[in-house]
């Protein structure tokens, strides 16, 4: 079952790197909301959610000392980091159910202008991977990391805006701003209980308030 495999991988991530686990859950929550804001069909929204939950699962193959390092990474360490989308794709099962999710994982470090890891650009990048890339960057900017202080949401949104059309798909940046307006007005759509249930299954101590 796809759902069980995702939960098992997330549990492994939880024990390997709490930082990466928390990031994955945040990115999944943002991606889910973005996919809804774009008006994608339910099945695609759900698939994007699954893809976002496992987008960094390749980091299971990277030593915790590298993932949590406070100082700058060496060239070798960067090389290992660059491999994580490919490693993540390798860790996922093959088969029709997984094809779209595998592509999201493989291409989540692409940039709209083609300057990402594999050089795909614009519409060549699967939509799910573009959504995850934006959610990933937003969460990275607004969370504390061993090597950086977290930024306020307004500053992060400003940076996203400046990178619209270069790093990010402009249509998705628009959707993010419209989503933010809805959230500010308290118009957040409720997360379906099924999604909350999946998030809770990933760890016994998961607290949905962390979202
Ligand atoms: Fe990543």
Secondary structure letter of residue 1 according to DSSP: -
Secondary structure letter of residue 111 according to DSSP: -
Which one is predicted more confidently, 193 or 83? 83
Whole-angstrom distance, CA of residue 173 vs CA of residue 119? 20
Whole-angstrom distance, CA of residue 58 vs CA of residue 51? 12
Could you give the C-alpha distances from 168 to 27, 76, 103, in angstroms and in order? 15, 28, 17
pLDDT of residue 154: 87
Question: 46 C-alpha to center of ligand 1: Å?
Answer: 20
For the cut 90, the answer to whether the pLDDT of residue 1 exceeds it is no
Whole-angstrom distance, CA of residue 87 vs CA of residue 175? 30
Predicted TM-score (pTM) of this structure: 0.90
Could you give the C-alpha distances from 107 to 116, 146, 160, in angstroms and in order? 9, 25, 19
Six-digit token pair at 179?
């989503």
Question: 156 C-alpha to center of ligand 1: Å?
Answer: 18
pLDDT of residue 149: 80
What CATH class does 2-206 carry? mainly alpha
What residues pack around ion ligand 1 (CB closer than 5 A)? 56
Question: 56 C-alpha to center of ligand 1: Å?
Answer: 5
Q: How far is CA 166 from the centre of its chain?
A: 19
| pLDDT tens, position by position, 108-158 | 999 999 999 999 999 999 999 999 999 999 999 988 777 778 888 889 999
Question: 186 C-alpha to center of ligand 1: Å?
Answer: 30
Whole-angstrom distance, CA of residue 205 vs CA of residue 193? 18
Q: Are the CB atoms for 3 and 101 separated by under 8 Å?
A: no
| Domain limits, the chain | 2-206
Which one is predicted more confidently, 208 or 61? 61
């Amino acid at each position: 079952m796809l759902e069980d495999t995702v939960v098992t991988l997330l549990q492994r991530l939880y024990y390997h790197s709490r930082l990466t686990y928390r990031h994955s859950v945040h990115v999944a929550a943002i991606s889910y909301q973005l996919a809804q804001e774009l008006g994608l069909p339910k099945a695609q929204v759900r698939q994007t959610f699954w893809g976002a939950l496992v987008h960094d699962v390749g980091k299971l193959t990277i030593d915790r000392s590298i993932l949590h390092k406070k100082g700058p990474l060496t060239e070798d360490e960067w090389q290992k980091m660059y491999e994580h989308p490919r490693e993540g794709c390798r860790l996922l099962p093959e088969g029709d159910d997984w094809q779209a999710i595998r592509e999201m994982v493989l291409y989540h470090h692409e940039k709209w202008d083609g300057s990402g890891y594999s050089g795909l650009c614009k519409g060549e990048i699967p939509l799910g991977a573009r959504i995850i890339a934006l959610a990933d960057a937003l969460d990275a900017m607004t969370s504390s990391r061993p090597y950086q202080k977290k930024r306020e949401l307004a500053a992060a949104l400003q940076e996203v805006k400046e990178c619209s059309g270069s790093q990010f798909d402009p249509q998705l940046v628009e959707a993010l701003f419209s989503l933010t307006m809805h959230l500010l007005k308290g118009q957040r759509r409720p997360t379906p209980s099924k999604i909350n249930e999946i998030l809770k299954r990933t760890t016994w101590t998961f607290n949905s308030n962390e979202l």
